[in-house]
């Protein structure tokens, strides 16, 4: 396995922890949860441990956000320049920094932030554990956060709905490839798979199951990809040109999508890892273009 493939697998594993699949909507966990009954809206102070939740809060009511993660997605965003970072990269959040901000609510991801959220909760601070791996999860999360901070989610939900304003008339067979060694494709139990379903794309890996280091993804052989022979191929790589990486594979030129020039490179954020609202919207716009 190449170093680039290892980086991608690490990124996918991290995103599967940050945005794990969820059946019920997210819920606040605390002996004294932050609600309209226990805390006035003006006194709500939130520390977000993921870029997506920080972005959602900023859109809902930026005055409630007091701490953010050290994510490259929002690190250079001018909207967040004056907010203190409580973590850096994949390192665990700094508990002392979080406590020093005197938050009334700390929001983190299930599986990845369980330990720091547990410590925060032991100190009597309310926590919200999130799970996002589908479009409905995003809606539920936005509504839950809005309820916690006393904000109106309607404008943000309207933006989500706008993503579906131009759906393709007919569905084309589609395959998303997120890694070359091994070849990984998202099934329906992933953010990417659910997003394809929202856009009525015929995801050829949707119902496939198998052993994979990343939940919601299946490992495919070159023979399986050739057998599937999709109309459209979406290729993702968080580091370099994803299409160029596959062009060296013997099977690549034999694919219908390659021959018809329907191979499209996608950003890792938005399609594989939701990341932020702007990245989600960019992925939706691109999907509208390439699935027509």
What pLDDT was estimated at residue 239?
60
Domain ranges of the chain: 19-162, 166-290
What pLDDT was estimated at residue 95?
95
Architecture of domain 166-290: 3-Layer(aba) Sandwich (3.40)
Do 166-290 and 19-162 have the same topology in CATH? Answer: yes
What pLDDT was estimated at residue 238?
58
Q: CATH 1.20.1260.10: does it fit domain 19-162?
A: no
What pLDDT was estimated at residue 144?
96
User: Which residues in the chain show pLDDT less than 70?
Assistant: 1-42, 168-169, 237-240
Q: Tell me the pairing of strands 173-177 and 232-236.
A: parallel
What pLDDT was estimated at residue 50?
94
Q: Report the predicted TM-score, pTM, of the whole model to 2 decimal places.
A: 0.85
What pLDDT was estimated at residue 41?
64
């Amino acid at each position: 396995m190449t170093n680039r493939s290892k980086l991608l697998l690490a990124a996918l594993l991290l995103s599967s922890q940050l945005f794990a699949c969820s059946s019920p909507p997210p819920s606040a966990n605390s002996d004294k949860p932050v609600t309209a009954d226990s805390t006035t809206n003006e006194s709500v102070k939130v520390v977000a441990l993921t870029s997506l939740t920080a972005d959602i809060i900023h859109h809902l009511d930026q005055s409630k956000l007091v701490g953010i993660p050290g994510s490259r997605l929002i690190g250079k965003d001018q909207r967040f320049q004056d907010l203190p970072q409580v973590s850096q990269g994949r390192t665990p959040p700094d508990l002392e920094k979080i406590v020093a901000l005197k938050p009334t609510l700390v929001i983190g991801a299930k599986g990845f932030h369980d330990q720091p959220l547990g410590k925060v909760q032991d100190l009597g601070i309310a926590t919200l554990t999130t799970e996002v791996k589908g479009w409905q999860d995003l809606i539920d999360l936005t509504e839950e956060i809005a309820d916690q901070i006393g904000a109106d989610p309607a404008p943000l939900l309207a933006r989500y709905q706008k993503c579906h304003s131009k759906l393709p008339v007919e569905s084309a067979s589609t395959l998303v490839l997120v890694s070359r060694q091994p070849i990984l494709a998202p099934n329906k139990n992933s953010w990417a798979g659910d997003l394809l379903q929202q856009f009525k794309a015929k995801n050829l890996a949707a119902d496939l199951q198998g052993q994979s280091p990343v939940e919601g993804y299946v490992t495919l052989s070159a023979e399986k990809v050739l057998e599937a022979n999709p109309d459209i191929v979406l290729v993702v790589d968080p580091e370099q040109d994803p299409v160029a990486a596959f062009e060296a594979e013997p099977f690549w030129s034999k694919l219908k999508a390659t021959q018809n020039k329907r191979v499209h490179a996608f950003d890792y954020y938005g399609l594989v890892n939701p990341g932020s609202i702007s990245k989600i919207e960019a992925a939706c716009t691109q999907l509208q273009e390439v699935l027509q």
